[in-house]
Amino acid sequence: MAKTKIVSTDDILLMLCKSVTSVLTTATSDEINYSAMVQKINRTCLKPDIGCFVLFDGGFSGLVVINFTASAALELYQAYLSNMGIPREELAVSHTSDEVGNVLGELMNQMIGDFICNVGKQLQTPINQNQPKMLTINKEVLLSINTNLDRPQARRVTFTTERNNIFYLELAMDKTEFIQLHEFEQQEDFDPDDILEGEANKRAAGTKAKAESSPEEPSESDSLLDELGI
């Protein structure tokens, strides 16, 4: 008999950490790493210099918080926009700039979106997120989930940027386990751009084949000249 596969809260946390590193590494072209040691905490907080949080619910509920230091926030913001081809001299130089908060909010939206996609594929359960909220703060702000959790758990993970700046991820959710009842195939990842490009290539190939297989029909003027014997 096959061994039953169980996915725990910490396995879900690992999925979230992988989504964070994957999205940020792709967006900035810099290496982002997280600590192999995870800290158990009693509460989740927004902390200076920039705090970002997002709630998710569905198959299970939770709260994700990311606290950026000023140096980490600026590094990720500048690396992301520079990777998009924007000159460094046009970028903000202060973490309190609205543009920095907007970019980090966009990146967090991508990270949680990737996490939700992976939860759907690997755990076969849907969850939804709200819009991430960014706050530039100089004091600690306590956050809690507005829902009843039977056995709440909270974890903190340390992340390091390529320039060794630090930011922290905190996850709060109910203690849960997913038990695999039978084998199933996970949906393959797909890129919408690849699908659109493939369809465009198919249409172009079909048009070319049709043009080559059917001779060009004579125009009305050519038919009239033939009738007149010209």
Domain assignment present for 216: yes
Q: Which of 47-51, 67-71, 171-175, 192-196 has the lowest mean pLDDT?
A: 192-196
Based on the domain organization, do 222 and 156 belong to the same domain?
Answer: no
Domain assignment present for 109: yes
Work out the average pLDDT over 141-159. 80
Number of domains in the chain: 2
Indicate if the pLDDT at residue 69 is higher than 60. yes
Based on the domain organization, do 14 and 44 belong to the same domain?
Answer: yes
Based on the domain organization, do 163 and 206 belong to the same domain?
Answer: no
> Residue 222: its pLDDT value, please?
58
CATH number at residue 27: 3.40.1550.10
Domain assignment present for 74: yes
Among 152, 153, 192, 189, CA closest to 19: 189
Copy the structure tokens of residue 171: 């996850």
Indicate if the pLDDT at residue 147 is higher than 90. no
Q: How far apart are CA 106 and CA 152, in angstroms?
A: 28
What domain range is 96 assigned to?
Answer: 7-179
Based on the domain organization, do 69 and 45 belong to the same domain?
Answer: yes
User: What per-residue string of b and e applies to 66-101 under the rule 16 or more CB within 10 Å gives b?
Assistant: bbbbbbbbbbbbbbbbeeeeeeeeebbeebebeebb
Q: In the chain, at which residue ranges do the beta strands (DSSP E only) sit?
A: 6-8, 33-34, 39-41, 44-46, 50-58, 62-68, 127-129, 133-136, 141-143, 152-160, 166-174, 177-179
Share of the chain above pLDDT 70, in %: 77
> Residue 216: its pLDDT value, please?
56
> Residue 50: its pLDDT value, please?
95
Average model confidence (pLDDT) across the chain = 84
Q: ∠ CA(82), CA(102), CA(18), 5° rounding?
A: 75
Based on the domain organization, do 103 and 124 belong to the same domain?
Answer: yes
Could you tell me whether strands 152-160 and 39-41 are parallel, antiparallel, or unpaired per DSSP bridges? antiparallel
Based on the domain organization, do 204 and 173 belong to the same domain?
Answer: no
Q: How far apart are CA 35 and CA 14, in angstroms?
A: 11
3 state DSSP class of 96? coil
Based on the domain organization, do 109 and 22 belong to the same domain?
Answer: yes
DSSP state, residue 95: T
Based on the domain organization, do 159 and 129 belong to the same domain?
Answer: yes
Q: Which of 12-21, 24-33, 149-158 has the lowest mean pLDDT?
A: 149-158
> Residue 1: its pLDDT value, please?
45
Indicate if the pLDDT at residue 37 is higher than 60. yes
Domain assignment present for 1: no
Band of pLDDT at residue 142, cut at 50, 70 and 90: confident
Share of the chain above pLDDT 90, in %: 58
Domain assignment present for 185: no
Domain assignment present for 186: no
Based on the domain organization, do 222 and 142 belong to the same domain?
Answer: no
Q: Which residues contact 227 (CB under 8 A, 6 or more apart)?
A: none
One-letter amino acid for residue 6 of the chain: I
Q: How far apart are CA 165 and CA 5, in angstroms?
A: 37
Based on the domain organization, do 114 and 213 belong to the same domain?
Answer: no
> Residue 141: its pLDDT value, please?
87
Based on the domain organization, do 66 and 135 belong to the same domain?
Answer: yes
Work out the average pLDDT over 20-35. 96
Indicate if the pLDDT at residue 7 is higher than 80. yes
Q: In sequence order, what are the beta bridge partners of 166?
A: 160
